[in-house]
Amino acid sequence: MKSEPTPATRSIVVERTMPHPPEKIWRALTQSALVGEWLMENDFEARAGATFTFRAKPMGNWNGIVHCEVTVFEPPRRLVYTWKGGIVQNAPPSSSLDSVVEWTLTRVAGGTRVRMEHSGFRPQNESAYTTMSGGWPRILERLENVAAERA
Amino acid sequence: MTAATNALFKTLADPTRRSLFERLCRDGEQTVWRLTRHARISQPAVSKHLSALKAAGLVRDRREGRETHYRAEPQALAPLVDWMGFYSAFWRDRFDRLENLLQRMDQ
């Protein structure tokens, strides 16, 4: 596996200008209780090298846990953490999602440009053993919906 | 929803079928006999579920002597695996919530 070239990965980028100073947005991105209010419950620690988890409501067989490690912590401009999740009961360990979330705050007139890049998604045509990770919770959720609709 | 996705949904909506498929994904190729040992249903019932999974392209079978071996074809799930779509929607929603929180922090 290791000798094969790394397949190209894809990213999700969301960018918005918000009418708030970078320092304040930084607090919302890095204070555990505040992060919990808009993102997910977590035990985030504000320092590079810290490991922490996000916990969402379990869906289907997905345990709802995302494992993270802070790799860049440069207040109030840049925050990067790894995003490894999608561990699914009864699925192979390789189905885990191995991605990175990067926040960049840039002061602009009237506020801050907030940029989030979630990178490391593998192409969909790869083996579902690897792409299944994010898909399973979604699939199981949709299956439950479908089942409910038909019940 | 396309016809193909609909068929996959229908096939996997059954919990027994889903658990057979998950077992094959996790443990690799297995005989009907071994799958039956873990399932709480009869061998003909397991075979029937496996046929449905096979019809949906989710498993492949291979005869060896008197035994039939099944293995998962998780690629068949590709039409359902829209996880970039999932996270795109997730982050848009979270950006809304972040903006909402920032407004409340003002007060």
- Rounded to an integer, what distance in angstroms lies between the CA atom of residue A97 and that of residue B83? 10
* Across B65-93, average pLDDT: 73
Residues of A in contact with B78 (CB under 8 A): 124-125, 128, 131
Which residue out of A32, A131, A140 would a mutagenesis test of the B interface target, given it has the greatest number of B Cβ atoms within 10 Å?
A131
The DSSP annotation for chain B comes to: --HHHHHHHHHHTSHHHHHHHHHHHHH-SEEHHHHHHHSSS-HHHHHHHHHHHHHTTSEEEEEETTEEEEEE-GGGGGGG--HHHHHHHHHHHHHHHHHHHHHHHH-
Indicate the pTM of the whole model.
Answer: 0.58
Residue B87: pLDDT band (50, 70, 90) is: confident
Q: What's the one-letter identity of residue B101?
A: L
Q: Which residues pair with A88 in a beta bridge?
A: A62
Q: Please, what are the domains in chain B? A: 3-78 (1.10.10.10)
ipTM metric = 0.74
**Nearest neighbour of A127 by CB, restricted to B9, B23, B75:** B75
- Rounded to an integer, what distance in angstroms lies between the CA atom of residue A51 and that of residue A45? 7
Q: What is the pLDDT of residue A76?
A: 97
Q: How many residues does chain A have?
A: 151
User: Superfamily assignment of A10-150 in CATH?
Assistant: START domain (3.30.530.20)
